[in-house]
């Protein structure tokens, strides 16, 4: 099993002794720092585009991350679809792969984690960790302060309410909330008629 397979396998490995073998770790982190400091001039925005394409595994067209963002590998193991929007202070623990589908919106202070450690004090003292990839579908909305744990799959079009901790898979087309996050209801036809606790969409479009 090669290093990349180990990092995405869920198997225990000694942290620091397994590397994906590509590039310089500190270079990815420095690129991330440069992104966060680039500012909002036309030159700064162009620099951000270049850094995203250099640092991330994949970046779709019209995808944007508000600075600052924080990532264990600077985003190297993160795959972003088209038209993804990530708001301030997103943290990506990307020791394993993280996949985020097109048109997904991620609110401020969201944390997506692909890495973990064993409960065993002995194994932790010996430096063992384990990772599982995270899959977030298309047109998902993760509201503010959501935490997504390793190995989770979130289906297309679903919404995860603010402050939720997602410990298990969430299917497509549902609203999930809580700690741990549980499905509250399916998203249905009424959601195309009403918003914000019963307000009519047709009367409030500008």
Q: What is the CA radius of gyration of the chain?
A: 18
In CATH, the number for domain 3-200 is 2.160.10.10
Rounded (5°) CA angle 98-131-15: 120
Annotated catalytic residue within 70, 77, 117, 197: 117
Percent of the chain's residues with pLDDT above 90: 92
Q: How far apart are CA 155 and CA 163, in angstroms?
A: 19
Expressed in angstroms, the distance from the first to the final Cα of the chain is: 56
Catalytic residue list contains 153: no
pTM: 0.95
pLDDT band at 81; cut points 50, 70, 90: very high
Predicted confidence at residue 22, as pLDDT, reads 60
Closest CA to 78 of 62, 66, 90, 67: 90
Q: Where are the domains of the chain?
A: 3-200
Per-residue model confidence as pLDDT tens digits over 156-174: 999 999 999 999 999 999 9
């Amino acid at each position: 099993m090669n290093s990349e397979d180990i990092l995405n396998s869920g198997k225990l490995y000694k942290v620091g002794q397994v590397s994906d073998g590509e590039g310089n770790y500190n270079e990815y982190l420095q690129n991330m720092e440069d992104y966060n400091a680039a500012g909002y001039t036309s030159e700064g925005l162009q620099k951000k585009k270049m850094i995203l394409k250099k640092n991330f595994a994949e970046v779709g067209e019209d995808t944007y991350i508000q600075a600052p963002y924080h990532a264990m590998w600077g985003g190297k193991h993160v795959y972003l679809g088209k038209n993804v929007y990530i708001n301030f202070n997103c943290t990506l623990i990307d020791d394993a792969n993280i996949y985020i589908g097109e048109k997904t919106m991620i609110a401020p202070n969201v944390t997506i984690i692909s890495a973990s450690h064993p409960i065993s004090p002995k194994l932790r003292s010996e430096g063992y960790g384990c990772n599982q990839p995270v899959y977030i579908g298309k047109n998902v909305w993760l509201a503010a302060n959501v935490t997504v744990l390793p190995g989770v799959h979130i289906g297309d079009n679903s919404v995860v309410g603010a402050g939720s901790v997602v410990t298990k898979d969430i299917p497509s087309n549902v609203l999930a909330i809580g700690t741990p996050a549980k499905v509250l209801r399916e998203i249905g036809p009424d959601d195309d008629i009403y918003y914000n606790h019963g307000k009519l969409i047709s009367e409030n479009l500008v």
